[in-house]
């Protein structure tokens, strides 16, 4: 059943059945007809928590700006890596396959995500044809349809799961029970299981390993101060924090990325949302 506001419609749609569990997406669209450019939005939750309902703020805001937004449910937690990437890759291909009936433009698709969702968005954008992620077939889909996107927007992503895991463990060792990181290493272990997986499914280290990846235009919106996402990897021997480290690596192979800093307490409001809105309009509209 669709819901309607003055400017935006939203509809929950079943898009994938996995082992008897139905995954949904919430599709926001501007009022009216047309082939709308699409942003696929991924929720955060340290790869363990949350669902597509966490993205209503972005969905409504970007739909009011003229974009369609599909907020995805995906497997996480004890379903473990790379389950999330299989669902996201499938979701993008499913939306492109059904674009005409949903009033979407399949050639104008971007990815967005917040926190761990930002990590997943960047990794999915960099590896749209990775065989580990493409193994679920979309019924009645053309072989020419893939999960490539035109741009990717991140809000304080956990871009390097391995360094954040070790960062959290150090903070607990230094700060004890009062640390922000209490329980965080366990969340990493629950989803990633091993440090080897944290290294393999890692946008930062993929670039530093020289992996061949896609580099669509990107933006990283980062609140400051933010010890959870904007920290320095003490083992990397690099004198910049993770946002600038990733940006340097991305630009070094020809990618275009902007790191946009905002005051921490304002990051969830217009100060953090507006740069993403402008970015998606620029590259999709």
Give tens-digit pLDDT for 30-50: 998 889 999 999 999 999 999
Look at residue 3 and tell me whether its pLDDT is greater than 60.
no
- To which residue do tokens 């209503």 refer? 56
The answer to whether residue 182 sits within a structural domain is no
Question: What's the pLDDT at 4?
Answer: 45
Residue 241 lies in a domain: no
Contacts of 41 (CB under 8 A, 6+ apart): 55, 58, 59, 69, 70, 71, 72, 112, 113, 117
In a domain, 88, yes or no: yes
Q: Which domain holds residue 151?
A: 3-158+213-229+257-284
| pLDDT band for position 177 (cuts 50, 70, 90) | confident
Average pLDDT of the segment spanning 243-256: 98
Confidence at residue 248, expressed as pLDDT on a 0 to 100 scale: 98
What region, left, alpha or beta, does residue 32 occupy, with left being phi > 0 and alpha being psi -120 to 50 degrees? left
Indicate which CATH number applies to the domain containing 7: 3.40.50.1820
Is residue 2 scored above 70 in pLDDT? no
Contact 141, 151 (CB under 8 A): no
Q: Average the pLDDT over 162-171 and give the result.
A: 97
Would you state the pLDDT for residue 68?
97
Query: What whole-number distance in Å separates Cα of residue 18 and Cα of residue 20?
Result: 5
Rounded to an integer, what distance in angstroms lies between the CA atom of residue 122 and that of residue 143?
A: 23
Average pLDDT (174-182) is 93
Looking at residue 212, what is its pLDDT? Answer: 98
- 224 in a structural domain: yes
Tokens standing for residue 266: 């304002």
Mean pLDDT, the chain, as a whole number? 95
pTM: 0.96
pLDDT at position 5 is: 54
Residue 25 covered by a domain: yes
With respect to residue 200, please indicate whether it lies within any of the assigned structural domains.
no
In a domain, 265, yes or no: yes
Give domain status of residue 13, yes or no.
yes
Domain count for the chain: 1
Residue-level pLDDT at 6: 60
Angle between helices 56-64 and 270-284 (to 10 degrees): 50
Mean pLDDT of 157-170: 98
Q: In the chain, pLDDT over 90 holds for what percent of residues?
A: 92
């Amino acid at each position: 059943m669709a819901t309607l506001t003055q400017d935006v419609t939203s509809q929950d749609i079943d898009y994938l059945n996995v082992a008897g569990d139905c995954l949904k997406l919430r599709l926001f669209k501007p009022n009216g007809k047309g082939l709308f450019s699409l942003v696929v939005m991924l929720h955060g939750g340290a790869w363990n928590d949350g669902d597509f309902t966490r993205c209503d703020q972005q969905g409504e805001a970007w739909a009011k700006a003229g974009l369609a937004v599909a907020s995805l449910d995906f497997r996480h937690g004890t379903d473990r890596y790379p389950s999330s990437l299989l669902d996201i890759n499938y979701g993008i291909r499913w939306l492109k396959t059904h674009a005409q009936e949903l009033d979407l433009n399949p050639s104008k698709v971007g990815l967005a995500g917040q926190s761990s969702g930002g990590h997943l968005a960047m990794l999915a954008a960099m590896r749209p044809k990775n065989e580990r992620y493409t193994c679920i077939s979309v019924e009645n889909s053309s072989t020419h349809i893939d999960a490539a996107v035109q741009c990717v927007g991140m809000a304080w992503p956990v871009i390097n799961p391995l360094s954040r895991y070790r960062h959290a463990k150090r903070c607990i060792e230094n700060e004890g029970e009062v640390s922000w990181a209490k329980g965080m290493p366990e969340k990493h272990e629950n989803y990633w299981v091993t440090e080897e997986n944290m290294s393999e499914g890692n946008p930062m280290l993929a670039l530093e390993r020289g992996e061949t990846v896609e580099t669509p235009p990107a933006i990283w919106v980062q609140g400051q101060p933010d010890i959870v996402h904007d920290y320095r990897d003490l083992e990397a021997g690099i004198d910049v924090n993770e946002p600038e480290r990733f940006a340097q690596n991305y630009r070094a192979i020809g990618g275009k990325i902007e790191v946009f800093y905002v005051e921490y307490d304002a990051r969830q409001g217009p100060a953090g949302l507006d740069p993403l809105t402008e970015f998606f309009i620029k590259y999709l509209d």
